Amino acid sequence: MTTETRLGPASAGDAALEAPRKQLEQAWGFDDVAIVPGAVTTNPDLVSTAFTLGGQSFALPILASAMDAVVDPSFAGALTRAGGLAVLNLEGVQTRYDEPSRVLDEIAAAGPEQSTAVIQRSYEPPIRDELVGRRIEEIRAAGGVAAVSATPQNTKRLAPIAVEAGAGYFVVQSTVTTARHVSSSLRGLRLDELVRQLDPVPVLVGNTVDFGATLELMEMGVAGVLVGVGPGAACTSREVLGIGIPQVSATLETAHARDVFFARSGRYVPIITDGGIRTGGDVAKAICSGADAVMIGSPFASTAEAPGRGHHWGMATPHATLPRGVRVHVGQPHSLETLLFGPTSRTDGTENLVGALRTSMATCGALGIGEFHDARMVIAPAIKTEGKIYQMAQRRST
C-alpha cells in the first residue's frame, strides 16, 4: 500500500508564515525632500560653513571628486585657495602620461559612440610611480593641499609613495567599501593597518550607504567616510549593477552611524556626501541631512579651470570589461569663482553654491554646520513643482 503525503491548504499557510517575506524600504533623494525654515533666522554673513577634516579646518565644506575631468594639480591649487579641497585620482591619466593634456584632448574630441572606447584605451598604460610623486609636488607648488585617491587593489603600492611625496590626505575609494571584504587573496587590504601605517596622514574611505558598514569603517580608525553609490552624473553603476540608495536616505543613515560612534568613542568622523549634487539646494539638503561636507564632480567639471575640456566621465568608465560610466558634455559656462561664490544671473541654483548654502542655513537660524544638522526636514515630492505651472510650461516650450 502506497501512502501519499499532500501539502493541504492549512499546511501551505503554516509554511508561508514560517518563511520571511522581503520588505522594501522607502528611500529619498534630493528632489523628494525640503528643509523647513526655522523659528529663528539669522544674517547669512554671520554663518560659518567651515568644517574640520583630519584635524585641518577648511572654510568650505566642499570637496572635488577624484576624477580626471575635474582635478589636476592646477585645479587642486585653485580650490584650496578658494577654501575647499580637491582629490587627485592616482590611477588616472595624470599618473600614466608625462603630458596628460594630449590624452585629455583626444578624449574630448571623440564622438559620443567612440568616447568610452577612447577612454578605455587611454587608461591602458601602467601607472608610473615617479609621476605619483611629481603630481603631488605640483599640487603643493600650486599652493594646494595634496589629497589623493586610489582603489583598494592599488592602495598598498601607491599610498607609501604618496605619503613620502607629501600627500596631506589619502582616500581609499571604490564603488562600495566595507570593513569586511571576502576575497581569494591571501591577504587583502586591512584598513586598520593602513591607518596606522600612514599616520599622521588622515585616511578617508568610500563609498558606502549603510549604517552597519559605516560604523565598522569608523572603528578602523578612518578620518572620514564618503557616502553615495551611483548618483553621479557620469556614473552608470545603478543601471549596470542595480545597486544604490538615494542620497538623502544614505546620508541620514550614515550620519546616524557617525553620531552613534561619537557617543561610544568620543571621536567625531565626518560624513561626506559624494555625488548627485547639482545645485546649491542639493548642497544644503545634503548637509541638513547630516553631511559634514559634500563631494562634487560634474559642477566642477563645468568650470573653466577644470581639465576635462567641457566633458566629464566617471572613475569606472575606463574599466576594461564592465565600464560603469559614460562621458557627458557639461560645457564650461563659468569660472570656479562664479560656481562657488557668484555673482550670477542664473536662477536655477547652479552658480553661487556657497551663497545658497549660507542663505539656507541662515533661514534655519543655523550659525554652523552642526546646528544645521538639527534643522527640520520634510518629505515633499511636490517641492519643485508646486505652484510652478508657468515655469514648467516655459521649460517645455524652449
CA atoms of 274 and 86, how far apart (whole Å): 13
In a domain, 1, yes or no: no
Q: Is residue 25 part of a domain?
A: no
Residue 398 within any structural domain of the chain: no
Residue 34 in any domain: the answer is no
Structural domain total, the chain = 1
Domain that includes residue 79, residue range: 55-338
CA distance 339 to 106: 26
Q: Which residue from 249, 92, 89, 237 is spatially nearest to 175, judged by alpha carbons?
A: 237
Q: Is position 46 within any domain?
A: no
Residue 85 in domain: yes
Residue 19 has pLDDT above 90, yes or no: no
Q: Which amino acid, one-letter code, is at 182?
A: V
User: Is residue 18 assigned to a domain?
Assistant: no
Residue 384 above 90 pLDDT?
no
DSSP class of 24? P
Q: What is this structure's pTM?
A: 0.90
Q: What's the gap between Cα 190 and its chain centre?
A: 22
Question: Percent of the chain beyond pLDDT 90?
Answer: 73
Candidates 123, 35, 113; CA nearest to 314 is 123
User: CATH number for the domain including 140?
Assistant: 3.20.20.70
The model's pLDDT over 329-350, given as tens digits with 9 standing for 90+, comes to: 999 999 999 999 999 999 999 9
Which range among 11-15, 20-24, 331-335, 377-381 shows the weakest confidence by mean pLDDT? 11-15
pLDDT score of 75 more than 80: yes
Residue 183 has pLDDT above 60, yes or no: no
Tell me if 326 sits within 8 A of 116, measured CB to CB: yes
236 lies in some domain: yes
